Every structure is written in structure tokens, then in C-alpha cells.
Structure 1
Amino acid sequence: MPFSLFACGSNGGYQLGVGDSKDRHAAEKVKFKIGPQTTTELSQPIKAMSFGGNHSLALLEDGTLIGSGSNSEGQLFCQKDFKQLPAFVPIESVHNVEIRRIACGWEFSVAENVDGEIIVCGYGPNGELGLGKESRLDTNTCLFGKLPFNTNSKGGIKQLCTSIHSVIVVFNNGDVYGWGNNKRGQLFAHNGDRKLKQVREPHKIEFPGNRRVVAVCMGRDFTVFMTTDKDNELLIPIFRGKDNFNIESGLRKLKIDREHFVWMHATWTSVQIFTRDKHILSIGSNTKCQHFPEMTNSDASIDLAAVGSEHGVCTLINESRSKAYAWGWGEHGNCGRTLENTVTSEKHAKDTFDHLNAIYETQNNEKITRVFAGCATSFVEVERDNRKEK
């Protein structure tokens, strides 16, 4: 049963992979150039996607890495001669080793392979590459750099997280490392030391009371570490960075136990927490309707969900993954078109959505399998059952 990927939103760098650089306000099939042919179908599902300012990476189930969009800084693990990839193509430089996980920043990318290596590429003026003084690589001689430790020796990676200009890695043995922009203290307190405002090599991050990090998310200028207490039951959030949106106080008001917590992700200015009862708790800025809309139907619990730069994408359980919705800031079409009979509150701008706006509806033989959200981009993976066509 084949898989297709539909995309809408910002596309100035070809990051949607639809063949040109025009923004899309309606979901359109993504193109894949795998082998000599260009197709709109994959034979296997996408395991993960990550997004930079103008580039996209997708990790297939078998560990194959594919990418589209801007490669002006080599952020797609390709030579800079390939300035952009208008369709998703396999990344040849890493095809010999299965990739485990991926993460993208503004103009850089990070990946972990099965050999336990963390590899980096692109442009990192704030130390985003973690390679010391190196801010960029000469892609004529080296398409990626390797960081100086092996993840397997630390039990593997639990979470690889990026913001626009920073990276954090949480290992299964409890160690946490970070590098990149630390001007706002989003990694650790720099106490005015200029050398610590740009962390150019992996730096171990410590926490009070030997708290263990369960999850981490990074906004534009802040980081939230969700940690456990000594009894490993109550979750204790630790906020670091610049707080313009009362996120720290909002987090402290929440009393979430370990059993109730599933995941958290950050937009640039808010935090979204997904709970065991299939709801999203939103904290922080709501100037662009980033908070998850109030549900009028009590049965409409969330099934799949993803969080982007200032918007989110989801499906609902009671609709059996037949529709994908978006909410938040849809400046580039990433939240779809505004329906004539559904008007956003007058206090919000026309391109914001304080309601769930449908961006894709399946046909009879389709079901939505994954949703992804990037920098003003939205992606919906759809599986088609060919047997129903016969």
C-alpha cells in the first residue's frame, strides 16, 4: 500500500518539495525523485521529519534520509553546488549508514546514525555545528562533520532537539549536552561571560538535585526541561532563557504527573503539552492563536498532532483520521484557506486561526498516518489501500 505526502505553507526555498518555490495555501502532493523517475508515492512510511528555515529532511522507516529545499549552506548534507532541491531526493552522502534520528535548525542539520555518530552540516555562526571554531564546512571536501563522542556509549539518544540556533541532546544514561546560541541563557546561565554566550562545542548541562530530564523542548529564545523529582513521579519543569510570554509561571501552575504526560513541543513563543487523555495544554503567547482551540465537542479527542514554528497540525479520534486540521499562524498558507462560513475572531489577524481549519480530507480508500509541522509548513502523510479500488 503506497504512501503519499501532502504539503502546504511557506515554500520560498523549495522546502515543500512540490517542484517550485511558490507558497501553497492548499495541500498538494509532494514529489519524490528516487531513482530515474519522479513520483508522488513512497513504498514505505516516513518515520520522522524535521525542518529548518527553508529546508526539509524526512527519515524513512528503513533509515533512508531524503531532503528538499535550500542547500545554500550545505544544510542538506549535499555539495553547495546543489543550491536547492525542488523535490525530495535521497541524501547520497549518508546512504551507506542507516540514520536513526534527525533535527534541523535555521540553516543547519543534525543526525544520528546506527554507528552512534552524531553528524552535522550547514551554517552555524553561533556554534550550532558544535565543531569549535568552524561555522561552516567546505562541502567540496567534507559534506558533514562528526561530534567527538559516540551515542552508543551513553545508552543511545533519548531526544535530539533543536531550536533556530541551538541544539540539545538527552541521552538514555541521563546525560544532557547542548551547544549553539546561549545568549539568552537558554542552555545554562552564562553570567555575562561572552565566551559562554556562544557554545561552540558540546557542553554538559547540569540540573539541581540530580534531576533526570524526561523531555525537552526549545522555543526561539527559551528551553523547557521536564524533569522528575526524586520519587520519579511528579514532573518538575525547569525554564531557561528569555521569558516574554509568562511561560515559566504557566508551567508551574500545571501539576502533571509522569503517567499523565506524553510529550511537549514548543513553537517559537509557546509550549504545547500532549496528555494521556488526548488533549493539548497550551502555555505562552497566543497573539497568533498558537493556543490549541477550545473543543466544543467533548468526544473530539486528538489523535495525531505536530507543532511547528507558530502553528500546529492534528487529526481527531472520532473522525478515524479522515481529516487533518491546522490552527495558529497561517501566514504562508500552512493553516490552509479560510472558509467563508468560519471566521476567526475579529481581535485576530486574517491569517491566524483560532479554530481547527481543515487542510486535508481523505478519499474513501485513504487514511492519514502521520502529520508534521515546520517553519510555516504543514505536511500530511496518507496511506492508500489499493485493494479498495478493485
Structure 2
Amino acid sequence: MTQMKSAIGKLKIFSFGSNSRCQLSLPTGEDVSVPTLVGKQFEVRRPLEPQHLELVSNGNHTLLRLKHVVYSVGDNSFGQCFQSPSTEPIRSFEPVSQLLPANMTPVKIAAGWEFSVVVYENKSTGGQAMYVAGTGPRGELGLGPNVRVCAQQHVVPSFPPAGRRINRLAAGMSHVVAVLDDGTAYGWGNARQGQLGPEHVACRTGVWAPAAIALPDGFSPADVACGTHFTAFTSTSGQVVVLTSKDKHGVITDVPEQRGLLRSGWTSLHMLQGTGDITSWGNNSHGQHRPEQAPKAAMMACGSEHTIVLDRDTERAVYAWGWGEHGNCGQQQDGEQQRQHVVVTMPRQVFSVDSQDGHTNHRIVYLAAGCAASWIFMVEDE
């Protein structure tokens, strides 16, 4: 019997928020407070596998990994979009054009303030290589002592170690952490605030190449999330370990007992439980913590100081809260004061599939958030 091929569908991307360098893949260069359809659309095979879709956004640039291709958009002053450096931003998603060794496919991406990381995997051997581009004044590129700028993509030497694979990858503004398949963790970049563990705090100018991070005995990391000055790990059993030397916002002292999917903002942490409830801790100066009125969530994405979620009951509406100065939490609503527009403490509905002309037969498959930026991905129902 001939096996039926999976159907082809259009992936439609809506973005809103900070767009000064066109990092939303909207060419106007102006902030947007209404989710706006990105001009570039992509064909995907349905069902779309979750591991084939990933978007990361930091500073003023964005990376999109869609199965076997990485796309970039936004500020490219230092080559952080893996394109030739230019003072002119990239205004819509463009495939990374620089040449790679044959038979390599991207499997992980991360973005810091002005640098980017892509992990490629050899489809034949399973071996991995990590490439970086951009600028990192505290070792964020991981290329060795005092390598601050890499205008063309460059492979990080001897990482991951021979025979090892990167299972998880995350970046804060100025540091990067990788969790390997043997349960070890490595980090590089800014370490002064203890985000790479106490053993690296003395590296005042940064950790310039991937270095092992000491974790508690018996702790096996399953996932990692990076804030500005901390790194948070979850274990295979759901335990949380947070690394920072100055617990200014209580990200260590207020770790909850609940277990779930961990995500990070600049100064706060958020955990999506299997029940759809969200537990938030850390800084709440901009309404980052989950409001009591928030719906149960089927998906969650955390940006610099805001959160967006997919309503679990309908799976057709998206809500936002937190710091929304650039429109990343939607439009100011009638009756709201100006501060409420900037600091959204009540869950605000920012998107509904049913309100999109011609798209009511679509479903939301992915959410992403970055530096005052929000993203919603839809595909047509099968």
C-alpha cells in the first residue's frame, strides 16, 4: 500500500511590539500594537512537528528555525543575523545565506543582545557543530580570549565535546548556556552575577569559551532558561535550580513547589503546569506575574518583561500581560489609564482566530516572545 504524503499548508505569522530595526519582519521600522500578518509566508507539511519550529528574539534581531532552514531579520550591524554586516536592517525574514558544510541541518537556535547561536547536526553521523555571529564584549561568542566580534559566522572550537550532543540551548542578554545529552551543562559570556555558577564569578571580564557549570550532586538538568543575571535549570524530576550571586528579585528564595514548563523573562520566572495554571516568581514591578484573572494556558511564551498565553479552553484566543510600552501587550483599551497601557496587570486579549477575516479555519500552533515583541503562528486546520 502506498503511504499517503502529509498535506502542505501555509504557516502564517503575526507579530507586534518593538520594531525599530524591523525585528518583527515588518518593514515599516515602527512599533506595532495590533498583531500584524508578516508578509513572508512559509509552506509547511502538516501536521507540523513542534521540534521543527522555533523563534528566538533578543535585542533588535530575530531568528526563526523552520525545519531545515534558519531565517533572520532585524538589526545586522555586527552580522548577528548571519548576513554580511550592514547599518541597514534586514526588513523581512531572509534565509541564512552563508555556506555550511554539506549535509548539516539546524536543530537549535539562541539569540543574545547582539549575537546569535545556531547548532547544526550532521544528518548522516548525528554529530553537531555550533556556529556564532555578532558581537559579545564579555565572551558571548565563545570563541576564546578577547574575541569580541565575529562578522561572519564561525564554528565554536571543540564544542560540543566529541560524542556529545546539545539537548537544550538558551541565551540571556549576555550569556549562553547549553545542556548536553550526558546531563552536564556548559556556559560562556557574562558571569559576574553568578549566572554561570559561583565558580565563574571571579571571571570579571567574562567566560570566553564554553566552560562546565557545577550543578548540585544528583541534579540532572532537563531544560534551561536564562534571565538577565541568572540561569534557571529544571531537572528530569521537576526540581528547579537557579544560579545567581545576588538574589535581588527572589528568583532563588521564592522557587515554588509546583512542576512544569519553565520560561524566563529578564528578571522573573514563570512555570506552566499541566493543569494550565501558571506560577510566577521574581520581579513583578511591571506586572510580569500571572494575574489572578488569567485564563488557563495551553501555551506560554515569555518576553523581556511580558507574557503571552493561548487560552486552553478555546485554543483560539491569545492573552498578554506585563510591560507593554511598545505594543507587545496589544492596544490600549477603552477606560485604561496610560500606566495601564504600559503596565498591563489584567490579562488583555490581543488576538482571536475567529476575528481574523479568512482565517477562521486556522489554529494556533506556536507562540514566541522577545525583547518587547510578541509572535503568534497559525496554520490551516487539516
Give the equivalent residue in structure 1 for 2:4: none
Residue 121 of structure 2: aligned partner:
114
Aligned-residue offset at 1:192: 6.4
The equivalent of 2:341 in structure 1 is 350
Residue 362 of structure 2 is aligned to residue 366 of structure 1? yes
Distance 1:376 1:154 in 2: 38
- Aligned pair 1:271/2:266, yes or no? no
Map 1:236-315 to 2 at 5 A. 236-251=240-255, 254-256=256-258, 261-295=259-293, 300-315=295-310
Please give the per-residue CA displacement for 1:241-278, whole angstroms capped at 9, x wherever unaligned: 33211221101xx224xxxx332111111000111212
SS in 2 for 1:249: coil
**For residue 31 of structure 1, what is the aligned residue in structure 2?**
39
For 1:318, the equivalent position in structure 2 comes to 313
Aligned length: 355
Partner of 2:112: 105
**From 90, 101, 112, the counterpart of 1:85:** 90
Q: Deviations over 1:259-311 (max 9, x none)?
A: xx332111111000111212110001111110011137xxx421111111100
Q: CA deviation at 1:27?
A: 1.0
Superposition RMSD on alpha carbons, in Å?
A: 2.2
Deviation at 1:323, TM superposition (A): 1.5
Q: Secondary structure at the match of 1:350?
A: helix
Q: Which residue of 1 aligns with 2:6?
A: none
- Aligned structure 1 segments of 4 or more residues deviating by more than 6 angstroms: none
- CA distance in 1 between partners of 2:10 and 2:118 (Å): 26
* Alignment counterpart, residue 71 of structure 1, candidates 49, 69, 76: 76
Q: Partner of 2:72: helix, strand, or coil? A: strand
From 56, 60, 71, the counterpart of 2:62? 56
Distance 1:279 1:149, change over 3 A: farther
Contact 1:128-1:166 at 8 Å conserved across structures:
yes
Match of 2:53 in 1: 47
The answer for the alignment partner of 1:4 in structure 2 is 12
Provide, for residues 304-351 of structure 1, a one-character-per-residue CA deviation record: whole Å limited to 9, x for no partner. Answer: 1111110011111211x221121111010000012215x47x9x6531
**Are the aligned partners of 1:185 and 1:197 in contact in 2 as well (CA < 8 Å)?**
no
Q: 2:254 aligns to what SS in structure 1? A: helix
* Counterpart position of 2:332: 338
Distance 1:241 1:94 in 2: 41
- Describe the shift of the 1:9–1:71 C-alpha distance in structure 2 as closer, same or farther (beyond 3 A): same
The two structures have a TM-score, normalised by structure 1, of: 0.85
Q: Secondary structure at the match of 1:318?
A: coil
CA-CA distance at 1:152 after TM superposition = 7.8
Residue 239 (structure 2) pairs with residue 235 (structure 1): yes
1:123-138 correspondence runs (5 A): 123-132=135-144, 133-137=146-150
2:141 maps to amino acid: L
Q: Is 1:180 equivalent to 2:192 in the alignment? A: no
Question: In structure 1, how many angstroms separate the alpha carbons of the residues matched to 2:199 and 2:161?
Answer: 30
CA distance in 2, matches of 1:191, 1:42: 43
The letter of the residue matching 1:186 is Q
Structure 2: distance between partners of 1:281 and 1:13: 33
- Could you give the per-residue CA deviations for residues 22-58 of structure 1, whole angstroms, max 9, x where no partner exists? 00011111122xxxxxxxx211267000112000010
- The residue identity in structure 1 corresponding to 2:140 is E
1:188 positional shift: 1.8
CA distance in 1, matches of 2:79, 2:105: 20
Q: Distance in 2 between matches of 1:162 and 1:235?
A: 21
Give how far 1:102 is off.
0.3
Q: Is the 8 A contact 2:73 2:90 kept in 1?
A: yes
- Contact kept in structure 1, 2:230 and 2:242, CA below 8 Å: no
| Amino acid in structure 2 at the alignment position of 1:134 | V
Q: Which runs of 5+ in 2 are unaligned?
A: 1-8, 123-127
The answer to whether the aligner puts 1:216 opposite 2:224 as a matched pair is yes
> Does the CA contact (< 8 Å) of 1:19 and 1:86 recur in 2?
yes
The 1:208/1:305 distance shift into structure 2, 3 A limit, reads closer
- List runs of 5+ in structure 1 lacking aligned partners: 33-40
- Contact kept? 1:304, 1:315, Cα under 8 Å: yes
Q: SS of the residue aligned with 1:51? A: strand
| SS at 1:250 equivalent | coil
Name the CA shift for 1:94/1:241 in 2 (closer, same or farther; >3 Å).
farther
Q: Please state whether the residue corresponding to 2:55 is helix, strand or coil.
A: strand
Please tell me whether residue 375 in structure 1 is matched to residue 371 in structure 2. yes
Alpha-carbon distance in structure 2 between the residues aligned to 1:156 and 1:326: 35
2:125 is aligned to: none
Q: Deviations over 1:334-373 (max 9, x none)?
A: 00012215x47x9x65311112212222142222111110
Report SS of the residue matched to 1:277. Answer: coil
Q: Matched residues in 2 for 1:306 and 1:255: separation? A: 21
